C-alpha cells in the first residue's frame, strides 16, 4: 500500500515538472505574425499566473504554483515590455493603440507586485479585476496591425481563456472569496466560448487537423459546463490540470492557423 502511494506521489511530482507552464521568450527578429501571436499569449498567460496564485492561496503544491510564479513573473515582465515597444514603434500613427499599451503596462506593474505578495482572497480578486481590464487593452494596442487573418489568432486566444476563467472563478469560490456575480459571470463565459467556437469552425483555413482539435476543445469544455451545474465539489488539482489541457489544444489549433497566414 505504501509503495503504491509512493508511486502515485512520484507520478504527480513528475507531472508537475512536465506540466509547469512556460513563458516563451520574445521572438527575436520575429515577424508581425510572431509578435502578434506572442501578444495573444500575454493575455492568456496572465490567467495562468492568476490560477497559480490562487492554487498557492489554497495551499496546493500541485504543479508547483509557487515555482511557476517565480519563473513566470520576470519572464512575463521582460516580454511585456518588448511587445509594448514593438507595437508602439510599429503604430506611431495610432495614438489610441499607443495609449492602450501604456495603460496596460501600468496595470501589469501593479499586478506584478501583487503576484509577488502572499496570496489573499482580496488580492486574488484584485488581480482578476486588473487582468480583465488589461486584456482588452492589449487587444486594442495590437488591433490596428490585425490584418491578413491575424484576427484568427485573437479569436483562438479568446477560446483558450474561457476554461481558464471558469477555473479561476470556481477556485475563488472554493477559497471562499466574495463573488456575488459568479453565476452571471460563468454563464457569460460559457456563451462566449460557444460563440467563438462557431466562428472558428466556420473559418475557411480549417483543415482536418484543426477541425479535430476544435472538436476536442468542444468536448473538453463540456467538463466545465458539467462542473458549473454539478452539486458536488470538484478537486482544485483536477480543475487546474484540465485548464492546462485546454491551453495545449488551443495552442495546437493556433499553430495550424499560423502556418497558413501570410
For residue range 54-79, list pLDDT tens digits in order.
999 999 999 899 999 999 999 999 99
What was the pLDDT predicted at 217?
A: 94
Encode 58-73: b = buried (16+ Cβ within 10 Å), e = exposed. bebebbbbeebbeebb
What was the pLDDT predicted at 16?
A: 39
- CA angle (175 as vertex; 171, 181 as ends), nearest 5: 70
Taking the whole predicted model, whether its pTM rises above 0.75 is answered as yes
3 burial level (CB within 10 Å; 0-12, 13-18, 19+): exposed
Going from the C-alpha of 212 to that of each of 51, 57, 216, 222, the distances in angstroms are 27, 36, 6, 16
Tens digits of residue pLDDT in 211-238: 999 999 999 999 999 988 888 888 888 8
Mean pLDDT of the chain: 90
The backbone torsions φ and ψ at residue 20, rounded to the nearest 5 degrees and listed phi first, read: -55, 130
Name residue, grid cell 465539489.
Answer: 233
Going from the C-alpha of 66 to that of each of 6, 11, 23, 45, 54, the distances in angstroms are 23, 19, 15, 15, 10
Tens digits of residue pLDDT in 110-164: 999 999 999 999 999 999 999 999 999 999 999 999 888 898 999 999 999 999 9
Distance CA 8, CA 46 (A): 30
Cα of 42 vs its chain's centroid, Å: 8
What is the torsion angle, in degrees rounded to the nearest 10, for the CA atoms of residue 173, residue 176, residue 181 and residue 187?
10
85: Cα within 13 Å, side-chain hemisphere: 7
Whether 138 and 104 have beta carbons less than 8 Å apart is answered as yes
Amino acid at each position: 500500500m505504501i509503495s503504491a502511494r509512493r508511486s502515485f506521489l512520484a507520478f504527480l511530482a513528475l507531472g508537475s515538472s512536465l506540466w509547469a507552464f512556460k513563458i516563451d521568450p520574445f521572438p527575436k527578429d520575429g515577424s508581425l505574425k510572431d509578435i502578434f501571436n506572442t501578444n495573444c499569449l500575454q493575455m492568456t498567460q496572465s490567467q495562468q499566473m492568476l490560477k497559480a496564485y490562487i492554487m498557492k492561496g489554497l495551499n496546493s503544491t500541485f504543479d508547483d504554483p509557487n515555482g511557476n510564479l517565480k519563473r513566470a513573473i520576470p519572464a512575463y515582465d521582460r516580454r511585456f515590455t518588448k511587445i509594448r515597444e514593438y507595437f508602439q514603434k510599429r503604430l506611431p500613427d495610432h495614438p489610441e493603440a499607443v495609449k492602450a499599451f501604456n495603460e496596460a503596462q501600468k496595470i501589469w506593474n501593479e499586478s506584478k507586485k501583487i503576484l509577488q505578495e502572499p496570496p489573499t482572497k482580496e488580492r486574488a480578486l484584485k488581480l482578476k479585476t486588473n487582468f480583465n481590464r488589461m486584456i482588452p487593452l492589449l487587444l486594442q494596442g495590437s488591433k490596428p496591425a490585425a490584418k491578413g487573418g491575424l484576427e484568427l489568432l485573437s479569436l483562438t486566444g479568446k477560446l483558450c481563456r474561457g476554461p481558464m476563467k471558469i477555473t479561476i472563478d470556481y477556485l475563488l469560490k472554493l477559497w471562499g472569496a466574495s463573488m456575488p456575480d459568479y453565476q452571471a459571470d460563468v454563464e457569460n463565459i460559457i456563451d462566449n466560448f460557444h460563440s467563438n467556437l462557431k466562428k472558428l469552425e466556420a473559418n475557411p483555413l480549417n483543415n482536418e487537423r484543426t477541425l479535430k482539435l476544435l472538436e476536442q476543445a468542444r468536448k473538453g469544455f463540456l467538463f466545465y459546463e458539467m462542473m458549473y451545474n454539478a452539486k458536488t465539489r470538484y478537486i482544485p488539482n483536477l480543475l487546474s490540470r484540465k485548464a492546462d489541457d485546454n491551453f495545449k489544444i488551443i495552442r495546437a489549433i493556433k499553430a495550424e492557423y499560423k502556418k497558413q497566414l501570410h
